[in-house]
Amino acid sequence: MPLSQAQQAEIEIARAARTETRRATVPALEEMLFTALPVLDHGFVRVIDYMGDDAAVVQAARVSYGRGTRKVSEDKALIKYLMRHRHSTPFEMCEIKYHVKLPIFVARQWIRHRTANVNEISARYSILDQEFYLPRPEDLAAQSAQNRQGRGDSLGTDQAALVLDLLRDDAERTYRNYAWMLNEEEAADHDPERPGLARELARMNLTLNTYTQWYWKTDLHNLLHFLSLRADAHAQYEIRVYAEAMLDSVKAWVPGCYEAFADYRLGAVSLSAGMMAVVKRLLAGEAVTQEASGLGKREWRELMVSLDRPEA
Q: What is the pLDDT of residue 101?
A: 97
Q: What is the pLDDT of residue 70?
A: 63
Burial class of residue 287 (count of CB atoms within 10 Å of its CB; 0-12, 13-18, 19+) = exposed
Q: What is the pLDDT of residue 82?
A: 95
DSSP states of 20-61 as a string?
--SS---HHHHHHTT--EEETTTEEEEEEEEE--HHHHHHHH
User: Residue 222 — pLDDT band, cuts 50, 70, 90?
Assistant: very high
Alpha-carbon Rg for the chain in angstroms: 24
* Residues 34-50, mean pLDDT to the nearest whole number: 95
Q: What is the pLDDT of residue 193?
A: 80
Each residue's pLDDT tens digit, 127-140 = 999 999 999 999 99
Number of CB atoms found within 10 A of residue 225's CB: 16
Q: Are 229 and 133 in contact (CB under 8 A)?
A: no
What SS3 class is residue 221? helix
Each residue's pLDDT tens digit, 82-120 = 999 999 999 999 999 999 999 999 999 999 999 999 999
d(CA 110, CA 239): 8
Residue 268 confidence (pLDDT) above 60: yes
User: Residue 260 — pLDDT band, cuts 50, 70, 90?
Assistant: very high
Q: Worst-scoring range by mean pLDDT, 127-131, 189-193, 206-210, 274-278?
A: 189-193
Q: How far is CA 46 from the centre of its chain?
A: 12
* Residues 275-279, mean pLDDT to the nearest whole number: 96
Which residues are catalytically annotated? Answer: 230
> How far does the chain reach from its first CA to its final CA, in angstroms?
50
Q: What is the pLDDT of residue 147?
A: 63
* Mean pLDDT score of the chain: 90
CA proximity to 150, closest of 214, 236, 71: 236
Residue 149 confidence (pLDDT) above 80: no
- Model pTM score: 0.88
Each residue's pLDDT tens digit, 228-247 = 999 998 899 999 999 999 99
Give the residue extent of every domain in the chain.
5-128+209-266, 139-203, 273-306
Q: Which CATH number fits domain 5-128+209-266: 3.30.70.1900, 3.40.1350.10, 3.30.1360.170, 3.40.50.1980?
A: 3.30.1360.170
